[in-house]
């Protein structure tokens, strides 16, 4: 097996991991939110991920970046996502409908592409543009034609979600630049420690830090959901995402991961949460998968 073949296999494994865990994360979050507040979920989710990396650091399996050249973009990535990103996304979703928020978040690959062209001198291949357009079109169809779609969100919510989209686009490039001097393990470890400390501090100031831990460990479904989010979504998924984004065009990597996650999320919503299913679902999945294939081909050609 050549090194290039091995790297391709690792990229495929990373995308599959991202699709499965992030695709099911909405369902797990719903379970966790039955007992915990939004910031309590974030504290426990990223706290668990931080503990995992602290153990790996203690046994010398992971070395945190410490030189200024290493820290520059790694710290920026950690600040952008999940810290700043969550501060925009969480209240933004609360002030709009789920259908509106999904439309906004689905434009992150588009914002990544725009930032890449404007500020990072990256070229946009026609196939990549077509892939991102197709994937976004799939999300658009699934949202607009769904029986549960509504368009009554507040202006403040729109501004907050726009902030989340901008932050997500910047994070993709920050992580890509950080990968030039740091491994994906180092970037993810730093992100987890920063996020774990950030959300723990918020809950400590609110007086909810210990209550978050007590509520989580006193309810089995909540504990299972938080472990799924912490180990799978925060630790493994970001490790995989930081890996592929350092080896592909950030816009292509962002589009493929977002599209696969959307596909798994739609299917899991239909199977487990009773979400509506119809011709629009099939059309949306078809366009989304086409977008993934086109983006993948553009990134490897």
**Residue 24 has which token pair?**
């099911």
For 143, half-sphere exposure in the C-beta direction (CA atoms, 13 angstrom radius) is: 21
First to last CA, the chain: 20
State the angle between helix axes of 85-95 and 155-178 in degrees (0 to 180), rounded to the nearest 10. Answer: 150
- From first to last of its 301 residues, the chain has per-residue pLDDT tens of 576 777 888 888 898 898 889 878 877 887 888 899 989 999 999 999 999 999 999 998 888 888 887 788 999 999 998 899 988 887 776 676 555 566 677 778 888 888 888 887 777 778 878 877 887 787 778 667 767 666 665 678 778 888 988 999 899 889 888 988 898 899 999 999 999 999 999 999 999 999 999 999 999 999 999 999 999 999 999 999 999 988 887 877 877 787 777 777 777 777 776 766 778 778 877 887 787 777 767 655 5
* C-alpha of 137 from chain center: 20
> What value does the CA radius of gyration of the chain take, rounded to a whole number of Å?
19
Question: Domain containing 256: what range?
Answer: 3-300
How much is the pLDDT for 7? 82
Query: What was the pLDDT predicted at 301?
Result: 56
Please state the domain count of the chain: 1
Q: For residue 156, give the nearest of 80, 100, 99 by alpha carbon.
A: 100
> What is the C-alpha separation between 236 and 225, in angstroms, rounded?
15
Three-class secondary structure of residue 223 per DSSP: helix
pLDDT of residue 151: 60
State residue 249 phi and psi, 5-degree precision: -60, 125
Supply the pLDDT for residue 206: 93
Please tell me the total number of residues recorded for the chain in this structure: 301
Q: Are 146 and 280 in contact (CB under 8 A)?
A: yes
b/e map of 234-268 (b: 16 or more CB within 10 Å)? Answer: bbbbbbbbbbbbbbbbbbbbbbbbbbbbbbbbbbb
Residue pair 175/112 in contact (Cβ under 8 Å)? The answer is no
| Element holding 226 (H helix, E strand) | helix 220-227
> Tell me, what DSSP letter sits at residue 84?
I
Nearest-angstrom CA–CA distance, 278 and 282: 7
List, in order, residues 6 or more apart from 259 with CB less than 8 Å away. 135, 138, 288, 289, 291, 292, 295
- How far is residue 12's CA from residue 25's CA, in Å, rounded to a whole number? 20
């Amino acid at each position: 097996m050549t090194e290039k073949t091995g790297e391709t296999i690792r990229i495929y494994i990373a995308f599959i991991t991202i699709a499965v865990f992030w695709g099911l994360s909405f369902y797990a979050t719903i379970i966790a939110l039955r007992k915990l507040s939004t910031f309590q979920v974030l504290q426990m989710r990223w706290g668990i991920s931080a503990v995992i990396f602290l153990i790996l650091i203690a046994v010398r399996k992971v070395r945190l970046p410490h030189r200024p050249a290493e820290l520059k973009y790694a710290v920026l990535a950690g600040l952008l996502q999940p810290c700043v990103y969550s501060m925009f996304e969480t209240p933004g979703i609360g002030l709009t409908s789920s259908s509106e928020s999904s439309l906004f978040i689905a434009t992150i690959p588009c914002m990544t592409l725009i930032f890449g062209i404007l500020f990072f001198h990256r070229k946009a291949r026609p196939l990549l543009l077509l892939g991102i357009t197709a994937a976004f079109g799939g999300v658009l169809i699934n949202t607009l034609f769904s029986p549960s779609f509504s368009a009554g969100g507040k202006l403040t919510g729109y501004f907050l979600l726009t902030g989340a989209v901008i932050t997500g686009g910047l994070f993709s490039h920050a992580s890509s630049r950080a990968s030039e001097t740091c491994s994906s393990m180092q970037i993810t470890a730093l992100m987890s420690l920063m996020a774990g400390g950030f959300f723990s501090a918020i809950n400590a100031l609110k007086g909810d830090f210990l209550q978050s831990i007590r509520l989580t460990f006193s309810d089995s479904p909540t504990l299972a959901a938080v472990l799924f989010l912490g180990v799978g979504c925060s630790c493994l998924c970001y490790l995989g995402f930081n890996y592929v984004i350092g080896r592909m065009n950030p816009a292509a990597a962002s589009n493929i991961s977002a599209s696969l996650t959307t596909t798994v999320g739609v299917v899991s919503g239909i199977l487990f949460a009773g979400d509506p299913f119809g011709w629009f679902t099939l059309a949306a999945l078809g366009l989304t998968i086409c977008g993934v294939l086109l983006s993948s081909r553009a990134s490897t050609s």
